[in-house]
Structure 1
């Protein structure tokens, strides 16, 4: 299993009181924001371009997504280091990779 560490920042919004996480340096561009609800049972996801729309995932769905993402990044890293012309698109917090 590949481990990827990214630095995130948090910002709380007065209308929901949640701490929304996003990648450091991504604030001025479209980015994914993620909030873990109190109790840890649900994860809310939204795009910075439309904060009025929220996707609600169970924590199990989040862990499934995170484990698939980690495995895919490990595979992609091996492909890049083994030559070939493969280049990935998107990055953490990006939904442009077909997810």
Structure 2
């Protein structure tokens, strides 16, 4: 992915082309609102693939934690919140994502 980012006004004027590039060419576009606010326009198919990869990665972390417990390398834990569980497994908290 290119590190260049389009400003939001420029992206707005090219939105149809950018969507077409994302959908048909699988070319992501970074859009910048400010130096700290950036987003990436990708196709729905690419987004679904990213979500699937993330779920597989998270499942791998959980499976490894279970295996480590089975080998006696990890204690069984009780958590008072989902956030604490995700933090302990070094996973992003899904409630923090839109």
TM-score of the superposed pair, with normalisation by structure 2: 0.32
Which has a greater percent of strand? Answer: 1
Using CA pairs under 8 Å that are at least 6 residues apart, name the structure with larger relative contact order, 1 or 2. 1
Give TM-score, length-normalised by structure 1.
Answer: 0.32
Q: Which has the larger radius of gyration?
A: 2
Q: Which is richer in helix?
A: 2
